[in-house]
Chains A and B, each alone.
Chain A
Amino acid sequence: KCPLVVSRTFWGKNIKCVCFYRNALLEADINKLGFSSPAARKTGTTICGVVYKDGVVLGADTRATEGMVVADKNCSKIHYISPNIYCCGAGTAADTEMTTQIISSNLELHSLSTGRLPRVTTANRMLKQMLFRYQGYIGAALVLGGVDCNGPHLYSIYPHGSTDKLPYVTMGSGSLAAMAVFEDRYRPNMEEEEAKRLVRDAIAAGIFNDLGSGSNIDLCVITKGKVDYLRPHDMANKKGVRTGSYRYKHGTTGVLTKAVTPLNLEVVEESVQTMDTS
């Protein structure tokens, strides 16, 4: 029986393998009983980014899946890092959310310390060093883009901590579909409208050809001094309107007997919470 707390020293720092081993043991136990453990909510996803003449355009779909079920039809995958830097996240939803928030927080402190607007390469370095430290156990695949004093920059960051600096990148389960669109139509120094159209079409390719991606297309256009967070930019999958009423009329089912028992209840508090049926 292996102990529950194992401390591995890697890269001079300790990563406590408590949860990894415990989870493996629990998984084995559950499987022996014939059940399967709940799947982590992943973002399935198509995310992409492109560098154009004045800045970067980031794009993402809005579907979050838990196994084969859509958990969230309209989740936001473009995360704020700093006023001039945004980051799209694919992979485990919790990991992308928390990782981007941690780096956003550290970057704000860093920016206050330096007295300067943060650079995209700084955010890239912080993200890659953190993900490498966790050896891929943090399942966050990111597209990081922004504009700083050295111009527009775009990075793709993999869960194990490797990064690529490129003019156009795609990540997620729909990345192959989106990359096909980019490889066909990307040109250097595009205008803003053309770049937005290209990103929109790349995400659409992911949405309609990949089961893990769906719903709407969010865009984020970052230029020097301005950010356009377009959510939603394109509602590609609006829910249809029912053409008829399918309610059964009163009296369709015959009533044989009726017994009424009044319950004397006192209304203390009444609150209404509407469900999102979009």
Chain B
Amino acid sequence: SLQFGTPRSVFITSLIPVGTSIMAVEFEGGVVIGADSRTTTGAYIANRVTDKLTPIHERIFCCRSGSAADTQAIADAVTYQLGFHSIELDEAPLVQTAASLFREMCYRYREELMAGIIVAGWDPRRGGQVYTVPVGGMMTRQPVSVGGSGSSYIYGYVDSNYRAGMSKEECLKFTAEALTLAMERDGSSGGVVRLAVVSEQGVERQVILGNQLPKFSTV
């Protein structure tokens, strides 16, 4: 069957929610993931308390950025596939497997999708892992990864402040501060900071409200 790029005139002026700051950090024993909570359609904030940290399996999460419709659909599909795979194996799935499933989907449909995803979690074989699957469908493992429109503003902060071998509390502080800085400068990010720690013990989630965010000496 013929494949055509859709002509510009046929595109409906979209109300695709985009704009985000997401982040994930590996530490000894697990991962810390974080995201802002803003979904925008143009200049209107459609949801100011979004949860962009989506559970894919018991100890595997994904941070979603890009089109909300695309990332929700991909996450639902991968959740199904991974759940099925896990039942077949009769054991907990690997984080790399989840990341591969995301990569397969994001690469195969790269022309139609706008999705930047960070897959993070804990498995018994390799411990805490962070895999990034940006727009286009590449997959790579990184000790720390940032994503979304707000990430551009914090690459410098992350590169200079990340140290290997941080503890869980240090990672939480690092993530919260980085996301706060991103939300401060990026118009499409904001709201509250949602954090989660995924480790052998399970998942601990927390929310940092607007007035409790760390303060920096910006004007």
Contact among A21, A27, A163 for B72, CB-based, below 8 A: A163
Decide yes or no whether B44 CB sits under 8 A from chain A. Answer: yes
Contact among A8, A11, A28, A166 for B47, CB-based, below 8 A: A166
User: Smallest Cβ distance from A182 to chain B, in angstroms?
Assistant: 12
Q: By the criterion CB–CB under 8 Å, are A160 and B14 in contact?
A: yes
- Chain B count of residues within 8 A CB distance of the other chain: 29
Interface set, chain B 42-62, CB cutoff 8 A to A: 44, 46-47, 49-50
Interface set, chain A 16-44, CB cutoff 8 A to B: 17, 20-21, 23-24, 27-28
Distance between Cα atoms of A3 and B50 in the complex (Å):
42
Decide yes or no whether A211 CB sits under 8 A from chain B. Answer: no
Chain A residues with Cβ below 8 Å from B49 are 166
Q: Determine, out of B3-11, B93-101, B121-129, the stretch whose residues face the partner at the interface.
A: B3-11
Chain B residues with Cβ below 8 Å from A27 are 9
Interface string of B119-139 (1 = CB under 8 A from A): 000000000000000000000
Contact among B2, B15, B39, B44 for A164, CB-based, below 8 A: B39
Q: By the criterion CB–CB under 8 Å, are A8 and B109 in contact?
A: no
Decide yes or no whether A139 CB sits under 8 A from chain B. Answer: yes
User: Smallest Cβ distance from B32 to chain A, in angstroms?
Assistant: 25
User: Smallest Cβ distance from B107 to chain A, in angstroms?
Assistant: 14
Decide yes or no whether A190 CB sits under 8 A from chain B. Answer: no
Interface set, chain A 135-169, CB cutoff 8 A to B: 135-137, 139, 141, 156, 158-164, 166
With A160-B69, A164-B46 in contact, is A6–B14 under 8 Å at CB? no
Q: By the criterion CB–CB under 8 Å, are A139 and B12 in contact?
A: yes
Q: Main SS of chain B's interface residues?
A: loop
Q: By the criterion CB–CB under 8 Å, are A136 and B72 in contact?
A: no
With A24-B9, A158-B17, A164-B39 in contact, is A9–B1 under 8 Å at CB? yes
Decide yes or no whether B16 CB sits under 8 A from chain A. Answer: yes
With A2-B4, A7-B2, A132-B69 in contact, is A159–B15 under 8 Å at CB? yes
Distance between Cα atoms of A9 and B63 in the complex (Å):
27
Decide yes or no whether B112 CB sits under 8 A from chain A. Answer: yes
Chain A residues with Cβ below 8 Å from B10 are 20-21, 23-24
Chain B residues with Cβ below 8 Å from A11 are 73, 109
Measured CB to CB, the nearest residue on chain A to B2 is A6
Distance between Cα atoms of A116 and B7 in the complex (Å):
46
Distance between Cα atoms of A270 and B17 in the complex (Å):
57
Interface size class of A (residues with CB under 8 A): 35 or more
User: Smallest Cβ distance from B15 to chain A, in angstroms?
Assistant: 6
Measured CB to CB, the nearest residue on chain B to A10 is B112
With A164-B47, A166-B49 in contact, is A7–B1 under 8 Å at CB? yes
Q: By the criterion CB–CB under 8 Å, are B109 and A10 in contact?
A: yes
Q: By the criterion CB–CB under 8 Å, are A24 and B7 in contact?
A: yes
Q: By the criterion CB–CB under 8 Å, are A161 and B69 in contact?
A: yes
User: Smallest Cβ distance from B194 to chain A, in angstroms?
Assistant: 14
Decide yes or no whether B67 CB sits under 8 A from chain A. Answer: yes
Chain A residues with Cβ below 8 Å from B69 are 128, 131-132, 136, 158, 160-162
Contact among A7, A128, A158 for B15, CB-based, below 8 A: A158
User: Smallest Cβ distance from A202 to chain B, in angstroms?
Assistant: 16
User: Smallest Cβ distance from B143 to chain A, in angstroms?
Assistant: 31
Chain A residues with Cβ below 8 Å from B73 are 11, 128-129, 132, 161
Distance between Cα atoms of A125 and B10 in the complex (Å):
27
Decide yes or no whether B68 CB sits under 8 A from chain A. Answer: yes
Decide yes or no whether A75 CB sits under 8 A from chain B. Answer: no
Chain A residues with Cβ below 8 Å from B72 are 128, 161-163
Decide yes or no whether A176 CB sits under 8 A from chain B. Answer: yes
| 5 A-B residue pairs with CB within 8 Å | A9-B3, A136-B14, A141-B15, A158-B68, A161-B73
Q: Which 4 A-B pairs have the closest CB atoms?
A: A162-B68, A160-B69, A162-B69, A161-B69
